[in-house]
Amino acid sequence: MAKDFLVVGGGAIGMLSTLLLARSGASVLLIEGGSVGRESSWAGGGIVSPLYPWRYSAAVTALAHWSQDFYPGFGQRLLDETGIDPEVHVTGLYWLDMDDEAEALAWAGRQGRPLLSVDIDQAYRQVPVLGAGFSRAIHMSGVANVRNPRLVKALRAALAAMPNVEVREHCPVSGFVHEGGRVRGVTTAEGEVRAERVVLAAGAWSGELLATLGLRLPVEPVKGQMILYKCAGDFLPSMVLARGRYAIPRRDGHILVGSTLEYAGFDKTPTADALESLKASAEELLPALRDAEVVGHWAGLRPGSPEGIPFIGELASHPGLWLNCGHFRNGLVLAPASCQLLADLMLGREPIIDPAPYAPAARLQ
């Protein structure tokens, strides 16, 4: 018997879409080509804010603001339901020596966000391990980071507890099933899998799948490399960002430093050059890291898209096929709002925000 919904892609976007659709009582099948939650969602830093929120369009800002307000309660609900803590860690964020500081402050004034200019001496008092030589700082309180490997683990556990959800891993999708003028499912190595409606949430691979329909979705893989240090739990009290690189503290003292931005196709091999570049940035930002061991180095593939605006909605040219993809650098930031908007549209509810900026029809090439 065909499911109500079939979701292609088991990252944070796919899993949360599945969860929200299933909470309506619908039957949902999630198909993932590899292991759920092991691609971009696992590899990112988990800052619950765009890196430079003032540089984005109103479309990204609307999703980001809704998600930022949603995350603390979301993390607590997942902990209560699964016993797995996604560790939504509120630290605030300092940006140092920004060339467009005036634009950032003007944006914050318009948006009512708590981004303020602070005296550099205050920044050094608040973050004593900060490297020397910075002259200006702006700070936003309340910015959190989520420990994304634990978030995807909690989402997987939440889905496993739902009797109306099936998760099928290691099942690559190769195309779509058409019947009666609609998309009715997908083709896999195991045969056809059918559903009343299909959601494409395959991250950086979404463009390749839509190409099987003769459509050009401008979503491409953008490689990002990260390194991880282990320090004392109180080593870094706030997230910091300067010269295009950031440091993120976890509650247990792990410090993530990232990230590169590379257009290298689907190659996600970590490189020695990136390791040295990231270490140099880390030590410039936080000199004490010279004496700390790099305990992890990895790469992930972001789903790059024009202006970072995701595609959310039904493809008018292919009824029955819905998109939730193309979140670029902000998948974890935008996931709650993106998936809620998708669920609202698919279930015929009043959408949380205006869906027009994300509608695929006007933006496919």
SS (H, E, C) 148-163: HHHHHHHHHHHHHCCC
Place of tokens 């944070």: 12
Contact 275, 294 (CB under 8 A): yes
Q: What is the dihedral of CA 186, 189, 191, 195, to 10 degrees?
A: -30
Strands 165-168 and 28-31: parallel
Q: Domain of 327?
A: 3-48+150-218+306-358
**Is residue 207 domain-shared with residue 337, that is, in the same domain?**
yes
Q: What is the CATH number of the domain that holds 203?
A: 3.50.50.60
**Is residue 211 domain-shared with residue 229, that is, in the same domain?**
no
The pLDDT of residue 86 = 97
Place of tokens 């970590």: 270
| Interacting residues of 291 by C-beta distance below 8 A, sequence separation 6+ | none
Q: How many CB atoms lie within 10 A of CB 158?
A: 21
**Is residue 193 domain-shared with residue 293, that is, in the same domain?**
no
User: Is 57 part of a structural domain of the chain?
Assistant: no
**Rounded mean pLDDT for each run of 10 residues along the chain, 365 residues in total:** 94 98 98 96 96 97 95 96 97 98 97 96 98 98 96 98 98 96 95 97 97 95 97 96 97 96 96 97 98 96 96 96 97 97 98 97 78
One DSSP character per residue, 183-225 reads EEEEEETTEEEEEEEEEE--GGGHHHHHHTTT-----EEEEEE
Length of the chain: 365
The pLDDT of residue 122 = 97
Q: What is the CATH number of the domain that holds 276?
A: 3.30.9.10
Q: How many distinct structural domains can be found in the chain?
A: 2
User: Is 78 part of a structural domain of the chain?
Assistant: no
The pLDDT of residue 362 = 82
The pLDDT of residue 365 = 57
CA 82 to CA 306: how far, in whole Å?
36
User: Is 273 part of a structural domain of the chain?
Assistant: yes
**Is residue 350 domain-shared with residue 251, that is, in the same domain?**
no
- Please return the burial class of 222, using the count of CB atoms within 10 Å of its CB with bins 0-12, 13-18 and 19+: buried
| Entry pTM | 0.96
User: Is 75 part of a structural domain of the chain?
Assistant: no
The pLDDT of residue 82 = 98
